[in-house]
Amino acid sequence: EVQLVESGGGLVQPGGSLRLSCAASGFTFSDHYMDWVRQAPGKGLEWVGRIKHKGNSYTTEYAASVKGRFSISRDDSKNSLYLQMNSLKNEDTAVYYCARVAIGWAGEYDPWGQGTLVTVSS
């Protein structure tokens, strides 16, 4: 079964840091681009960023709202994706989803993780 499981969410103070993890199973992780998408409570979806696979030099892309503060990495040997979040702001409070970018990407995520909640508050 193709599965993604996020972890690492929690309560953090403004200005703090947090590292999210996403454990992948049931597929060849190294073949896929991976994205992070977030959703603030009661709000819409926001694309956070992407990491490409080794064939594209593990290139990363970020939303303007997180660029310079967040960093996406992956460890293909551990089938794991990471989101390092620094200088956190109240507005970063959200459920963070990791998502596998489908081969032949045309907007399909297959699958999504269940999400992990990050709360930034003093």
Partner 1 sequence: DIQMTQSPSAMSASVGDRVTITCRASQGISNSLAWFQQKPGKVPKRLIYSASSLQSGVPSRFSGSGSGTEFTLTISSLQPEDFATYYCLQHNSYPLSFGPGTKVDIK
- Select from 2, 5, 11, 45 the one that contacts partner 1 (CB under 8 A): 45
At closest approach, how far in Å is the CB of 108 from partner 1? 5
Sheet hosting strand 18-25, strand order edge to edge: 3-7, 18-25, 80-85, 70-75
Q: Which of 1, 2, 72 is nearest to 34 (CA)?
A: 72
Examine residue 107 and tell whether it contacts partner 1 (CB under 8 A).
yes
Read off the tokens for 113: 């993780």
HSE-CB of 72 using CA atoms within 13 angstroms: 26
Q: Which helix (H) or strand (E) holds 3?
A: strand 3-7
Examine residue 50 and tell whether it contacts partner 1 (CB under 8 A).
yes
Q: Count of residues binding partner 1 (CB under 8 A)?
A: 21
| Cβ contacts of 107 within 8 Å, gap of 6 or more | none
Examine residue 9 and tell whether it contacts partner 1 (CB under 8 A).
no
At closest approach, how far in Å is the CB of 82 from partner 1? 19
Nearer to partner 1, 42 or 77 (CB): 42
Stretch near partner 1 under the rule CB under 8 A, chosen from 5-13, 21-29, 56-64, 78-86: 56-64
Examine residue 27 and tell whether it contacts partner 1 (CB under 8 A).
no
